[in-house]
Structure 1
Amino acid sequence: MQKIDRAWLDAHPLPDPGRGTDKDGRGRVVLVGGAEFVPGGLRLTGEAVLRAGAGKLQMATVAAVATALGVLLPEAAMIALPADKDGEIAVEGAQRLLDPVSQADTLIIGPGMSGSETTSQLVAQLLESPRADLTILLDAAAITCAGALQSTLVRHEGHIVMTPHHGEMASMTGLHIEEIRSSPVAAALNAARTCNAILVLKAADTIVATPDGCLLSYSSECIGLATGGSGDVLAGIIGGLMARGALPLQAAAWGVWTHGEAGKLLASQIAPLGFLARDLLEKIPSLLKSDADTRRLSR
């Protein structure tokens, strides 16, 4: 198992947009999530997408909160969707998303959503038609639906990244959470192979597994990252990097490292506990700036 460290990152540099690249060239993201009673997580993911360097962002959420969320993140366009009786995105919203997704480079589904039959149907419809030029990130509630969608996930041919914590992994796989805690490597590898996807199993020691058996690891040693919204930020970083052109494994590794290093910086600057998930956001751009970027900008 390889460690995700500066040496690994230098050996796998992020794509350079180059001079003159426009917003479309830096990648278009459609982010689907949120609910009437959990609107804020989508803001964290959306801002992380842009902080990671993506050029365009459309956030799709229930109409009742879409305007307020658009004001909170004015850099993003909003897509207002119908809600079901529980305030979650209704299944009918999938039809409203067909055109935006057809023009996107990356689709992120799940932040701020609750697991339900409605969510399962929505996710299934959004994943129904694989595209070779579309990368997808499944987070939170979208992951818990994945266990019933394995045949669909496989058809995306490795273009999907999933970011479960141990509880979501248990829901997706049917394993007991203690089984996952005792054998996280085996659980991550098996899920990656079964779903033909990049699997990011989040914990203090995060594991990134690929369908062909590649394993990467990152130890954050930062208890402050165990806070509400932290995973929403990680999802946005990975999604934003994929939109920029990073391969799914590359984006996952860079995202995990950036998220963890941002936590370490905040722990030293503020305190080991008490910083907020939104505090991570401003740390993202400088951490993603590689030595190659520094040399290019200094010319």
Structure 2
Amino acid sequence: MTPLDADWLAAHPLPEPPEDTDKNSRGRVLVAGGSEIVPGALRLTGEAALRAGAGKLQLATVERVAPHLGVLVPEAAIFGLPANDAGELGDAAGERLCGYLDRCDTLVLGPGTGAEAPGTAILAPVVAEPRGALSLVLDAAMIHAAADLATAIHAHQGRIVLTPHPGEMAGLMGCEDMRIAQDPAGIAQEAARRFNATVVLKGPETWIACPGEGLLRYPGGGPGLATGGSGDVLAGIIGGLMSRGAEPRAAAAWGVWLHGEAGKRLAARIGPLGFLARELPGEIPGLLAHP
């Protein structure tokens, strides 16, 4: 186990864009998810991706709230996706989403999706066939769906990052919650091997596992990060870094560190509890400039 600290970050720097870069070469992120219940979730993920350095942002959410999201995030292109009767993404959303994948470098799929989203129907067409260098971050309901799609995910040759909290990890691995609590490091490594993916097991301390690589541990950014929308921000940071060209493990590690350190900065300035998830992205550029 290796601590995720300043020494590790210095040894694994992020790729920097050249001075003559444009928004497309800086990285194109597509964030898909949300629902009528949490229509603003993608705002958090999308802003985090841009703050992490992505050059171009696209958001895809349920059709009835898509125009409102476009007003909230004027930097993004907006796509509407079919919804079901519960106001979540519908069965046909995955097939529709596949039509947009050639326009992005990284897809972040799942933020803001709930238990009534048909995760397997959405995720299956997206991961059915690897697409060149496309990388993916799977979050929320898509993590539960991934449990049934291990073979397809494995075929993406390590370009997928999974971001479960302990409850989602139990569903992903089909095990009891107690096992996660007793051996988080071991279960993270087992999941990474099963899915051939980078796994970020979130909690008071966070474990980052990747097949063939050493396990990383981040001690945590404090209890203030245990707030609604915080995980949506983390998914966006990781997606933004991957779109810039960072390898999945490095993007996951830097994302966890940036997210945690942003929490520490806000705790010091505002208080240990009570800062908002939407305040986290604004801390990222400064942390990137002076890690």
TM-score exceeds 0.5: yes
- Secondary structure of residue in 2 paired with 1:49: helix
User: Residue 233 of structure 1 corresponds to which residue in structure 2?
Assistant: 233
Output aligned runs, 1:83-94, within 5 Å.
83-94=83-94
Equivalent pair of 1:115/1:142 in contact (CA under 8 Å): no
Q: What is the identity, as a one-letter code, of the residue corresponding to 1:92? A: A
Q: CA deviation at 1:116?
A: 4.3
Structure-2 separation of matches of 1:194 and 1:280: 32
Equivalent pair of 2:119/2:144 in contact (CA under 8 Å): no
Question: In the TM superposition, what whole-angstrom CA distance separates every residue of 1:277-296 from its partner, at most 9, and x where no partner exists?
Answer: 111110011111257xxxxx
User: Residue 9 of structure 2 corresponds to which residue in structure 1?
Assistant: 9
Q: CA deviation at 1:38?
A: 1.3
Q: CA deviation at 1:125?
A: 1.1
Structure-2 separation of matches of 1:212 and 1:28: 28
User: Residue 148 of structure 2 corresponds to which residue in structure 1?
Assistant: 148
TM-score (norm 2): 0.97
Q: CA deviation at 1:20?
A: 0.9
User: Residue 77 of structure 2 corresponds to which residue in structure 1?
Assistant: 77
Structure-2 separation of matches of 1:271 and 1:174: 38
Q: CA deviation at 1:98?
A: 2.2
- Secondary structure of residue in 1 paired with 2:280: helix
User: Residue 157 of structure 1 corresponds to which residue in structure 2?
Assistant: 157
Output aligned runs, 1:14-33, within 5 Å.
14-33=14-33
Identity of aligned residues (%): 54
- Going by fraction, where is helix more abundant, 1 or 2? 1
Structure-2 separation of matches of 1:271 and 1:290: 22
Structure-2 separation of matches of 1:56 and 1:221: 28
Question: In the TM superposition, what whole-angstrom CA distance separates every residue of 1:200-243 from its partner, at most 9, and x where no partner exists?
Answer: 00011100001125200101251101111100000000000000
Q: CA deviation at 1:131?
A: 2.1
CA 213–53 in structure 1, closer or farther in 2 if over 3 Å, else same: closer
Q: CA deviation at 1:95?
A: 2.9
Structure-2 separation of matches of 1:173 and 1:195: 10
- Secondary structure of residue in 1 paired with 2:65: helix
Question: In the TM superposition, what whole-angstrom CA distance separates every residue of 1:173-194 from its partner, at most 9, and x where no partner exists?
Answer: 1111111011001100000000
Q: What is the identity, as a one-letter code, of the residue corresponding to 2:181? A: R
Equivalent pair of 2:95/2:122 in contact (CA under 8 Å): no
Structure 2: any 5+ residue segments left out of the alignment?
none
User: Residue 100 of structure 2 corresponds to which residue in structure 1?
Assistant: 100
User: Residue 214 of structure 2 corresponds to which residue in structure 1?
Assistant: 214
Equivalent pair of 2:43/2:73 in contact (CA under 8 Å): yes
Q: What is the identity, as a one-letter code, of the residue corresponding to 1:31? A: V
- Secondary structure of residue in 2 paired with 1:148: coil
Output aligned runs, 1:25-174, within 5 Å.
25-116=25-116, 118-174=118-174
TM-score (norm 1): 0.95
Equivalent pair of 1:263/1:280 in contact (CA under 8 Å): yes
Q: Is 2:186 the partner of 1:202?
A: no
CA 117–44 in structure 1, closer or farther in 2 if over 3 Å, else same: closer
Q: After superposing the two structures, state which structure 1 stretch, 86-95 or 31-40, moved more.
A: 86-95
RMSD between superposed Cα atoms in Å: 1.2
Structure-2 separation of matches of 1:269 and 1:134: 38
Q: What is the identity, as a one-letter code, of the residue corresponding to 1:211? A: P
Structure-2 separation of matches of 1:91 and 1:4: 39
Q: CA deviation at 1:96?
A: 2.4
Aligned residues: 291
- Secondary structure of residue in 2 paired with 1:192: helix
Q: After superposing the two structures, state which structure 1 stretch, 111-120 or 25-34, moved more.
A: 111-120
Q: CA deviation at 1:117?
A: 6.7
Equivalent pair of 1:115/1:145 in contact (CA under 8 Å): no
Q: What is the identity, as a one-letter code, of the residue corresponding to 2:206? A: T
Question: In the TM superposition, what whole-angstrom CA distance separates every residue of 1:263-285 from its partner, at most 9, and x where no partner exists?
Answer: 00001000000001111110011
Structure-2 separation of matches of 1:172 and 1:109: 16
Q: What is the identity, as a one-letter code, of the residue corresponding to 1:173? A: M
Equivalent pair of 1:189/1:209 in contact (CA under 8 Å): yes
Equivalent pair of 2:230/2:277 in contact (CA under 8 Å): yes
Equivalent pair of 1:13/1:290 in contact (CA under 8 Å): no
CA 178–146 in structure 1, closer or farther in 2 if over 3 Å, else same: same
Structure-1 separation of matches of 2:36 and 2:125: 21
User: Residue 249 of structure 1 corresponds to which residue in structure 2?
Assistant: 249
Structure-1 separation of matches of 2:121 and 2:93: 11
Runs of 4+ in 1 over 4 A off after TM superposition: none
Q: What is the identity, as a one-letter code, of the residue corresponding to 1:153? A: I
